[in-house]
């Protein structure tokens, strides 16, 4: 059993596909870029938003920051609620919480949005620690987010072996696994999120599960 469980948010606890892709579409429109196929915008789900605008559309850092403002113009009032919890997640969190395990959210999404989403779906009460990025761009990488979550949980000073045996980082993208590896956690990949084919394997996930039921059994064992 893992005494400490860190969870990514988008693609792991919730399916934010509609809200994120439509908000990216909205931001691109302001740069004269029309992308009617929302499927093509799904790679934006997971990594830091600024990096994605620069990587996928060749934006300069300044353009990417401007694009983020347009994105949030739509996401804050509308896109944040175009979202749904994956089936079985609330029950799993309740079981883990009742079992005495310490739970944390470690997301690259701005902390205000993270808290709002968790409260909206009434699952915030299961978490001992909730960590996200800041709107000013600080703590945007998954490694920084994981470090802060471990610090708030009071286990940053555990030895590498203790962290590996007692702490799991659960996520659907390579960034989550990279964050786990950076701090010696057990990296658990979920295939029901938004990873590309082979992405979790290539990132070095210790374990990959295909369903929420499998995830719960793993974390409780």
Which residues are catalytically annotated?
Answer: 8
Return d(Cα 185, Cα 3) in angstroms, integer.
12
Could you tell me where the beta strands, DSSP code E, fall in the chain? 4-7, 14-15, 84-85, 102-110, 129-133, 167-171, 186-190, 207-209
Contact 3, 158 (CB under 8 A): no
The bridge status of strand 102-110 relative to strand 84-85 is: unpaired
Torsional sign, CA 23, 28, 32, 36: negative
Q: Which two tokens stand for residue 146?
A: 């994981």
């Amino acid at each position: 059993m893992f005494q400490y469980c860190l969870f990514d948010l988008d693609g792991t606890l919730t399916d934010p596909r509609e809200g994120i892709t439509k908000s990216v579409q909205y931001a691109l429109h302001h740069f004269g870029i029309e992308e009617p196929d929302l499927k093509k915008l799904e790679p934006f789900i997971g990594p830091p938003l600024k990096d994605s605008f620069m990587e996928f559309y060749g934006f300069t850092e300044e353009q990417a920051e401007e694009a983020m403002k347009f994105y949030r113009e739509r996401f804050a009032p509308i896109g944040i609620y175009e979202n749904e919890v994956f089936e079985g997640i609330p029950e799993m969190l309740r079981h883990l919480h009742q079992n005495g395990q310490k739970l944390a959210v470690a997301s690259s999404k701005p902390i205000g949005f993270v808290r709002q989403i968790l409260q909206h779906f009434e699952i915030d009460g299961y978490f001992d620690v909730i960590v996200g990025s800041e709107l000013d761009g600080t703590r945007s990488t998954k490694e920084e987010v994981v470090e802060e979550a471990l610090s708030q949980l009071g286990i940053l000073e555990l030895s590498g072996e203790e962290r590996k045996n007692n702490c799991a980082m659960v996520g659907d993208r390579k960034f989550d696994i990279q964050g786990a590896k950076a701090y010696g956690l057990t990296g658990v990949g979920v295939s029901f999120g938004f990873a590309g084919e082979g992405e979790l394997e290539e990132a070095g996930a210790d374990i990959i599960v295909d369903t929420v039921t499998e995830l719960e059994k793993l974390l409780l064992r």
